[in-house]
Amino acid sequence: MHRIFLFVLPILIVLACHAPVKVKPVQQAPLTTIDYITVGKMMDSIQPPHVIDLRNGNKRLVFIGCDHNRDSTHPQFKTIEHYFNDLQPELAFNEGGQIPDSVHFNTAGIAAMKDGETGYLKYMCDKAGIHMMNGDLSDSLEFTLTLPRYAHDQLLLYYLMERLVIPYLYGAYGKVPFEELYNKAIQKWFVKSGFPLTEDQQSINYFKQLYKQYTGHSFELKINQDIELFDYINGGDCRFCAIGRTSKMVRDSMLLCKIDESLNTYNRVFVTFGHGHALAVEPALKQIINKHRE
């Protein structure tokens, strides 16, 4: 078990929770989470969708731990629909960034195929007339928090593998040519979000150079054993696995902060996030729902 302390600081509230500030810097009670090596073992027996349905008085929180895929026939989409309709939430949180209010999907199936559980939740929220908010922290804030802790080149390689290469290999981005996707991603996800990169460091050749430097192998666009070097569930001296766990814990802290703040205002809150995140934060969610609120 890990203990996460939520510090109620003005800058954190502004950036992560979107709540009014003018509060004194105080430390709240620690929240208990499950470490991600243990989570990896749990995922072998607890399959998505993982439903966390918590109640306390007139407060109810439903958190669906999802598999990141765009197969509209996956059972998680029916699960999301069932619990969403049952809860009738006043607010919903998604993973992966704020979806503009101007983005809409014509059908639930199209939403799932285009943007997985996030698109599906957006479709449900639009249909219900409620707002869907980003439960994640922004890439720029995450980079601000992680760059001082890890080597620049190692951090870049981890993010490119975890957010681009591995999802691409498992079909998350469709059939777009990889190099075309890489060139768009390096600009949109990194340069525009404040990750410092020279022009040479933005190139796919630089990525391949880093890959060979740290894996000892030339980069090949296929699933192989090198993927294990970037899997957060692996312990030991796996440096990139440790970076992955740090990234997830930082994001979990922000998500828990936002959920906690939302329950001060709303009675019914709905969340879709990754399966691993759900398992990691479940103990903390129980603490949050049972928290005494004025």
> 71: which residues sit within 8 A by CB, 6+ positions away?
112
Asked whether 36 and 4 are in contact (CB, 8 A), the reply is no
Residue 172 has pLDDT above 90, yes or no: no
Q: β-strands 7-8, 268-274: how paired?
A: unpaired
Torsion over CA of 230, 236, 237 and 242, rounded to 10 degrees? 50
**AA identity, residue 152:** H
Confidence at residue 174, expressed as pLDDT on a 0 to 100 scale: 79
pTM of structure: 0.87
Identify the three-state secondary structure at position 61.
Answer: strand
C-alpha closest to that of 208 among 171, 149, 151, 165:
165
Burial class (CB in 10 A: 0-12, 13-18, 19+), 11: exposed
Q: Hey, where are the domains in the chain?
A: 2-136+267-289, 139-246
pLDDT digits (tens, 9 = 90+) for 39-50: 999 999 999 999
**Residue 264, CA atoms < 13 Å, CB-side half-sphere:** 10
Question: What's the pLDDT tens digit per position in 122-157?
Answer: 999 999 999 999 999 999 999 999 999 999 999 999
Give me 98's structure tokens.
């704020």
Tens of pLDDT along 60-79?
999 999 998 888 999 999 99
